[in-house]
Structure 1
Amino acid sequence: MCGIAGWIDFDRNLTRERAIAEGMTRTLHSRGPDDSGLWLDSHAALGHRRLSIIDLEGGRQPMTAEENGQTVAVLVYTGEVYNFRELKTELVSLGHSFRTQSDTEVVLEAYRHWGPAFPERLNGMFSFALWDARKQTLLLVRDRLGIKPLYYLPTPHGVLFGSEPKAILAHPGVRAEVDEDGLRELLAFTKTPGEAIFRGMREVRPGHVVTVTRGGLRERAYWKLEARPHTDDLKTTVRTIRELLEDIVSRQLIADVPLCTLLSGGLDSSIITALSQRALAAQGAGPVRSFAVDFVNNARDFTPDEVRATPDAPFVQEVAVHVQSHHTNIVLSAGDLAAPHVRAAVLHARDLPISMGDMDPSMYLLFRAIRQHSTVALSGESADEVFGGYSWFHDPQTIAAPTFPWQTAALHLFGSLQDALAPGLLRRLGVKEYIRARYDEALAEVPRLEGETGLERRMREVFYLHLTRFLQILLDRKDRTSMATGLEVRVPFCDHRLVEYLFNVPWAMKTFDGREKSLLRAAAADLLPKSVLERRKSPYPSTKDPEYTRLLHQQFTRLRERTGAPVRPLLAQEPLGKEFPWTRPYMEQVLMFNAWLEDYGVKVEARSYRPSDVLGLSGAMTGM
């Protein structure tokens, strides 16, 4: 796992711009603390920060391919291609030779042999930039589900790109500005493919390739979800899911560094931990290390609610004993979670004030602690989107509503900046209308199966919305908070083979026993304790410690008393009055938003974007 950054400009000599290219790459140090590299040519600058996972000595980047002493292609790459060994064997049989044992070189040689169609052959999580020196063409490529991020900003004569917005904002010709569309996207709590909030910036869509030439940019999809008839019976479906999961986990255990699993005591992470333990034991390795997050005094403070019926700790312990993992609990205090420097670290990991409350700092602190022991972790993320695990999947009223199904439930948990903004600004932005337009846009994309009607048709829509709009929020959070600590998190449930298969399984079969994630429970029936198999869905934990709310209130009060706080002109007046009931979600959202405006020097602009505004005559960066 690494960080990449670069600059293509067909109108200037970039060999003279080393300092700028190095500055862009340097912003991604946390993503790649082990090594750095930079490749410069007249119109291309490609930078790389490396987190060494596979072939620690031979996998340095940028990696070049040469013919007759001339560089013909250059690659900067982040992620993992899990089928690289099979691809390498095939390429060797086709006459290719290899200098290293890395998957990076396999990606480079795959392009040289199969050309621009080669991403279709890759199984993994990845984003990369490949410069074809002979054709003077750049390819920006992102994995099918969007596990690894990749941003770009078109310029009058090329493009800037990076694993995170901060790399692009580090260019002196780029300003950290957000227009009204960016604000709407920020407030909508849905991640529209391609949107990047910052003015003029884009994100490579999952499963897409952006091609940059002297003539401009063009984008194409190399993968998308398709509707196909599901002909397997229930027994065959369960067996197929189990076989896929065993293969996926086995592939994703490949690493030349210490590896572990994230264990919450829920169904998803417990299955990944159990399968990892079995696979390692079969290899004569193990036991697998597992890690869980918990809170000081959580046994005292926890109270069941409609979202979390049970605490994680007893189930975590039961699974760890059952599968015989080498387990560690990471216990966090209210002071840890509320610390301003931790909030700042989360903000600078994500580049955006998208707050999920105390779950963001706890995830960051969990990953930071794990990094002291392991470099790679396997996670149960995305099982809910693939198998239908959220409570709202099973609520007829929510499913029938003409909007994104998670809107009401998620905003109840995390709050929304919409609750804090001035009414005049909200009316001007028209966020509700924006959400509806994006919802209609997403529905128009849904692949349809001929003859599919009623609930089955609607549930196909619901799964598509989650896989393309909601999952992106969670994957982005997990990638950014983990990579900020130098930890690579892998997500087995995002393997595109599993996603494609489950997308076409009828809803009636997915819920054959009347519970959420019926098929996943059936596929893991022999792996886990009965208590875990029967446990109701419980999301990532949140502290119930009243001390956290007290510390939050102190910080919010200090912000409220600062007349120069940049967030104040955007807020409604009443919430800052003495009588307003300051809820945790409200305070968390406002504190994060103010820190973003302040630390990033963000300017909120209403004017529209023109590429000619970028890399203009002068102007220091307004951003970080």
Structure 2
Amino acid sequence: MARVFILRWTPCDWDEERRRRALWAEIAGERAWTKFLDRRGVLGHYALAGSDRAPMLLHGAQGAIFGSLFQRQRLGAAPLGDITPSQTSRLVESGRGAELSRDYWGAYLAVLHDTGQDELVIVREAAGAHPIYYGRLGKSMAVFSHAEDFLALADEAQPDFEFLSAFCAQSRLVTPRTAIKDVRELMAGEELCLGRAPGAVAKCVVWAPIANARSFTSEEFDAAAGGLRETVFAVARSWSQTSSEIVHRLSGGLDSSIVLGALKRATTGELLAVNAFPADVAEGDERRYARAAADASDTRLIEVAMSPAHISYERLLDAYFSAKPSRAAMSFTDPTMGRAIAAEMNSPLVTSGQGGDQVFHRLRTPLIAADAWCDGCDLAELQRIMVDTARLARRPIWDVFGAVLKYGLLRQPLASGPFGSRARGCEPDAIKTLLNEHAWARVRAAASPARAMRIAHIMDLQYYHQPNGLNAQFATHPILASQPIIEFCLRVPPYVMTWGGRERALARAAFQDVIPGEVLARTGKGDTTRYHVAALARQLPFMREMLIGGELERAEIIDGVELREALSRDVMSEGSRSGFLSSALLAEIWLRRFYALQRRFVEPGHRPEPPDGSSASSEAPQA
């Protein structure tokens, strides 16, 4: 993903401008930065890695759009290569994020500079591609993708121990909070507006899931299946036109097999499927299903052996440094898959079936029947849905009936969690507070019970765009985590998605001729517990070195006695302990790197003194 750094100060504040320009010149170093904004208190640069798509620069130096942007009215067409001057003016001066989310879709980050209103606007698309953060630098604001660039200018930045404690308890937190105090992440579907005054910071939602959409009834199941099929195929056609080479990560599960079938029908370039399998244990080996899916779509398949011996947690010490630790960083510990892909293709688009669980409603919960009550289904239909839901959830019908009464009729709020924690000072309420900072929290609270769970899962889609070992090397996109597919699925009630008491029933019906029967019949996923426990066990010496007496223990975020017990080899088989240790390691390494960057950037003589009048140009910068 493109590296982006933008400074925003009050126009005509010459002292602040000189200071920020001088500091930027110092920290920019030898990186190949390209300037794309330099006007009226805004200085914007970007740098591209080998796999990054060059941004679409807007006419009149009014900003840029990073990533791929498609027109909504031409679903299935190639990405846009340009936006006309009239479209640019409308987008920058009036439409902004609302127009982007209404008329376009893709995996993009939009930077719009409205010089007429003196406003800098940042828009992040609906599924959360291109993570972006913002924070204050003195009288200026910074918008950035890489935390290292921000810390180079932020003398007084401090870690947010409350967030780090919560991360150790629940590592897939979806919240705007970061591990740097007072730095926030712009979440999926949000727009950030920075005005000319130092405190003029506003944020709004330009896209969010509709709480209780219902465009299809149970009687319209076939129509819904046809619409889903058409939408997925069209999205695959659009993405297939972003690269002449596509590598698809084929697990052998339902979702990745659906995407492979759609890509095969869409692409005119080279398509390769790749399956990762555990070399040392039979558990989690899904090559049988991957081979069947590849044969059904007549696609070449390569199989990549993954072994705990390939993994080194020490690679985390040099991995991408974000504003918050992330589970996705674990993919940096094993370069095997990246090397296998690079040996086959030079610069492919790497796709996967990720996001299918979220959009296709892979939930086995009695709450599905409660949604039918909330939607006003008649008693005969409600009874049928209750029976279907009991079959799906593998629960007695009376449990389903109780869920209908409790969460449908009485509309009791859903409980959050549970959040198990071995981190000190992190109570469940603290995690709930962080989760409720998300802009979609109100939409989720207003939704019917099963839809509320689905919205929480849609919020989680941006996890797939967090920096990881593959998107650091290649252009990647999880096809199913695309706005048109998300929006279509949200229009289908949960009890239609699971019609007949079958998990992901709508997706199975929509693509039954695309994937082989043995994959179509699958309802489970490959279990890789033994593989990950074996990997963790091999890394215990390094984990002990990092965690025992480390920064987290010194900050009293984790208890030293419990930590040493958890690090004993004879309890590594417990999932809760291994999960806690992995999260704690990620937080520990993040904190160590934070302090190391601080020491590096505050060394005497590292930063220049702000230029005085005698050394600066006598001509005032143009406003």
The TM-score with structure 2 as length reference comes to 0.75
Aligned to 1:589: 583
Say if 2:317 is the partner of 1:344.
yes
Q: Which has the larger radius of gyration?
A: 2
Deviation at 1:335, TM superposition (A): 2.4
Residue identity in the other structure for 2:341? I
Say if 2:90 is the partner of 1:132.
no
Answer yes or no: is the 8 Å Cα contact 1:81–1:125 preserved in 2.
yes
Aligned to 1:111: 88
Answer yes or no: is the 8 Å Cα contact 1:13–1:42 preserved in 2.
no
Deviation at 1:291, TM superposition (A): 1.9
Deviation at 1:549, TM superposition (A): 3.8
The within-5 A match list for 1:499-514 is: 499-514=486-501
Aligned to 1:49: 47
Equivalent of 1:144, from 126, 131, 134? 126
The within-5 A match list for 1:431-470 is: 431-437=427-433, 444-446=442-444, 457-468=448-459, 470=460
Answer yes or no: is the 8 Å Cα contact 2:258–2:514 preserved in 1.
yes
In the alignment, the residues of structure 1 paired with residue 83 and residue 190 of structure 2 have an alpha-carbon distance, to the nearest angstrom, of 20
CA deviation vs aligned residue, 1:357-409 (integer Å, no higher than 9, x gap): 966745x653454345233112212111112115568657898899988945x
Per mean C-alpha deviation after superposition, the further-off stretch among 240-249 and 432-441 is 432-441
In the alignment, the residues of structure 1 paired with residue 72 and residue 322 of structure 2 have an alpha-carbon distance, to the nearest angstrom, of 30
Per mean C-alpha deviation after superposition, the further-off stretch among 36-45 and 393-402 is 393-402
Answer yes or no: is the 8 Å Cα contact 2:79–2:241 preserved in 1.
no
Residue identity in the other structure for 2:476? V
Q: What's the secondary structure of 1:139's corresponding residue?
A: strand
Residue identity in the other structure for 1:327? L
Aligned to 1:471: 461
In the alignment, the residues of structure 2 paired with residue 350 and residue 153 of structure 1 have an alpha-carbon distance, to the nearest angstrom, of 14
Aligned to 1:230: 215
Say if 2:359 is the partner of 1:386.
yes
Deviation at 1:274, TM superposition (A): 1.1
Answer yes or no: is the 8 Å Cα contact 2:175–2:435 preserved in 1.
no
Aligned to 2:282: 302
Change (3 A) 1:220 1:180: same
In the alignment, the residues of structure 1 paired with residue 94 and residue 605 of structure 2 have an alpha-carbon distance, to the nearest angstrom, of 37
Deviation at 1:122, TM superposition (A): 1.6
Residue identity in the other structure for 1:140? I
RMSD: 4.0
Aligned to 2:298: 324
Aligned to 1:92: none
In the alignment, the residues of structure 1 paired with residue 105 and residue 201 of structure 2 have an alpha-carbon distance, to the nearest angstrom, of 26
Change (3 A) 1:534 1:26: farther
Deviation at 1:506, TM superposition (A): 2.0
Equivalent of 1:482, from 466, 470, 475? 470
Say if 2:2 is the partner of 1:6.
no
Change (3 A) 1:182 1:341: closer
In the alignment, the residues of structure 2 paired with residue 528 and residue 134 of structure 1 have an alpha-carbon distance, to the nearest angstrom, of 53
Residue identity in the other structure for 2:306? L
In the alignment, the residues of structure 1 paired with residue 363 and residue 546 of structure 2 have an alpha-carbon distance, to the nearest angstrom, of 36
Answer yes or no: is the 8 Å Cα contact 2:497–2:505 preserved in 1.
yes
Answer yes or no: is the 8 Å Cα contact 1:5–1:48 preserved in 2.
yes
Aligned to 1:277: 264
Residue identity in the other structure for 2:313? P
Answer yes or no: is the 8 Å Cα contact 2:70–2:106 preserved in 1.
yes
Answer yes or no: is the 8 Å Cα contact 2:313–2:333 preserved in 1.
no
Deviation at 1:169, TM superposition (A): 2.4
Answer yes or no: is the 8 Å Cα contact 2:126–2:483 preserved in 1.
yes
In the alignment, the residues of structure 1 paired with residue 273 and residue 416 of structure 2 have an alpha-carbon distance, to the nearest angstrom, of 30
Deviation at 1:210, TM superposition (A): 1.1
Aligned to 1:198: 180
- In structure 1, runs of 5+ residues without a counterpart are 90-100, 304-309, 450-456, 605-614
Aligned to 1:530: 517
Aligned to 2:611: none
Answer yes or no: is the 8 Å Cα contact 1:204–1:210 preserved in 2.
yes
Deviation at 1:536, TM superposition (A): 2.0
Q: What's the secondary structure of 2:292's corresponding residue?
A: helix
Answer yes or no: is the 8 Å Cα contact 1:277–1:288 preserved in 2.
yes
Aligned to 1:79: 67
Answer yes or no: is the 8 Å Cα contact 2:67–2:109 preserved in 1.
yes
Aligned to 1:452: none
The TM-score with structure 1 as length reference comes to 0.75
Change (3 A) 1:225 1:576: closer
Deviation at 1:235, TM superposition (A): 0.9
Say if 2:327 is the partner of 1:355.
yes
Deviation at 1:302, TM superposition (A): 3.1
